[in-house]
Amino acid sequence: MNEKKKSAVSPFGRGLVKLLGSERRQNISIPLFAILLSLIACAIVVALFGKNPLTTLVCFLQGSGVLPKPEYAAHAGQLSDFMSMINALTPMIFAALAVAVALKTGLFNIGVSGQMLAAGFIASVVVGYSNLPMAAAIPLVLVLGVAVGGAVGALIGFLKHRFNINEVVSSIMLNYILEYLISFFINQYYINMVSRQSNPVSVASRLTLMGVSVGDLRLDLPLGILLAVPTAFLMRFLLDRTRLGFELKVVGLNRRAAKYAGINVGRSMVLSMLISGALAGLAGVTYYLGTFNSIQPRVLTSVGFDSIAVCLLGNSNPVGILFSSLLITIISKGGNYMSSIMNIPQEISQVLTGLILLFSACGAYIRYYAAHAREQLAEESRTAGSSAPEGGERV
């Protein structure tokens, strides 16, 4: 390294260090930087189609109701688009929280989709096809969602604790078992011959109030969001401020140390999967009895898998998840409108989601790169200060 190098740090590195700021600020600045990078990458993709990247971005925001569209059909408006986006956002928040809680305990819940399906199905059958009034139906749907999802989750935790069955395998197996079992029951008893889906649930049991007239507009009001946002804060409280949360995290960080410290590791794992499953159950009822009102047999929703990425994009932090879910839902929801206006294939919005996740996955590298550049800068300023003229030789 004895060349006449002026500085080992490129101008890019210098800029990056300044931009990202201190270690503490990096928790926010790095994800933002990653999103910025991915937007640039997406702009390049869009430009390859010969379209204006900026108008495309605006289209995404317009389609999801964040920005006003130039014109609306009767009874539709920015607010109705926005509410429809929130309607899709609700299950995503719950599902991502489910992944996060398990992840904190070092467990990987890849079975969120199956737990969602089980909860949605049981709630549909018990409440959705009954004629309970709304005041009884909605709490019951929520309770059933928590109970069924929690039961499936706890089963996975129990299998791990008692039989040492890797939770990834048992979740995948349970996903398939639930998918086929429920498909059988739907096809046999609850099929709607026209839509080839299960019969729609009653209006009273649905967690989204459809087509409510507010002024001139018709809105879909998702009640679940009123529960989803507090749940995120509740999970943060649980994980950061309670003894149970602390135990779960210790088990996740080092199982042996946890055992040595007298924590009941098996119980913690079962509890963690129970909470995770219960959250997945809430995602299920807000999805199958909220965003939609029927179940398609033999299909597992992709929400359960996308939520893994959303959770990690939010740094497994419950409050971070609120933002990452919002971002991903805006993109998927705005994709339709963008595709029709800009005449770009719909799949591009999925590619966009992929790119955002891809760059945020590199957050650790950006952090490493910035820390490295900072160290070199510090070293250079030290050598420059002591004796060496202009950069100097480094030992």
Partner 1 sequence: MNTIIIDGLAFALPLFIIAIGGIFSERSGVTNLALEGFLGFGAFVGAAVVTAITGGAFAGHETQMFLWALLFSVIGGAVFALLHALLCVKFKANQVISGVVINILATALTTFFTSQINTALFGKPTNKFVLGVCDKFTVPGLSKIPVLGSVFTDMYYFEPVIIVVALAASYVLYKSRFGLRLRACGENPHAVDAAGGNVARIRFFAVMISGALAGLGGICFAYVISASFSPSIYAGYGFLAIAAMIFGNWKIGPTLGACLLFGLARAAGYKLAQSLGLASAFSDLFMIFPYILTLLLLMFFSKTNRAPRALGEIYDKGKR
Per CB under 8 A, residues contacting partner 1 are 108, 110, 159, 163-166, 168-170, 172-177, 180-181, 183-184, 187-188, 297-298, 300, 305-306, 308-309, 312-313, 345, 347-348, 350-351, 353-354, 357-358, 360-365, 368
In the beta sheet, which residues pair with residue 192? 197
The one-character DSSP state at 127 is I
How far apart are CB 85 and partner 1 at their closest, in Å? 20
How far apart are CB 99 and partner 1 at their closest, in Å? 10
Q: Shortest CA distance to 294 belongs to which of 367, 205, 218?
A: 205
Of residues 49 and 246, the one with the C-beta less far from partner 1? 49
How far apart are CB 356 and partner 1 at their closest, in Å? 9
Of residues 26 and 80, the one with the C-beta less far from partner 1? 26
How far apart are CB 107 and partner 1 at their closest, in Å? 12
How far apart are CB 151 and partner 1 at their closest, in Å? 16
Find the helix or strand (DSSP H, E) in which 197 lies: strand 197-198
In the beta sheet, which residues pair with residue 209? 221
How far apart are CB 335 and partner 1 at their closest, in Å? 11
- Please, what is the end-to-end C-alpha distance for the chain in angstroms? 9
> What's the angle, vertex CA 309, arms to CA 307 and CA 314, rounded to 5?
90
Helix (H, G, I), strand (E, B) or coil at 191: strand
Of residues 125 and 138, the one with the C-beta less far from partner 1? 125
Of residues 205 and 324, the one with the C-beta less far from partner 1? 324
Of residues 175 and 202, the one with the C-beta less far from partner 1? 175
Q: What is the DSSP string of 205-256?
A: G-SEEEEEEETTEEEEEETHHHHHHHHHHHHHHHHHHSHHHHHHHHHHH-HH
Of residues 67 and 351, the one with the C-beta less far from partner 1? 351
Q: Residue 305 carries which side chain, given as an amino acid letter?
A: F
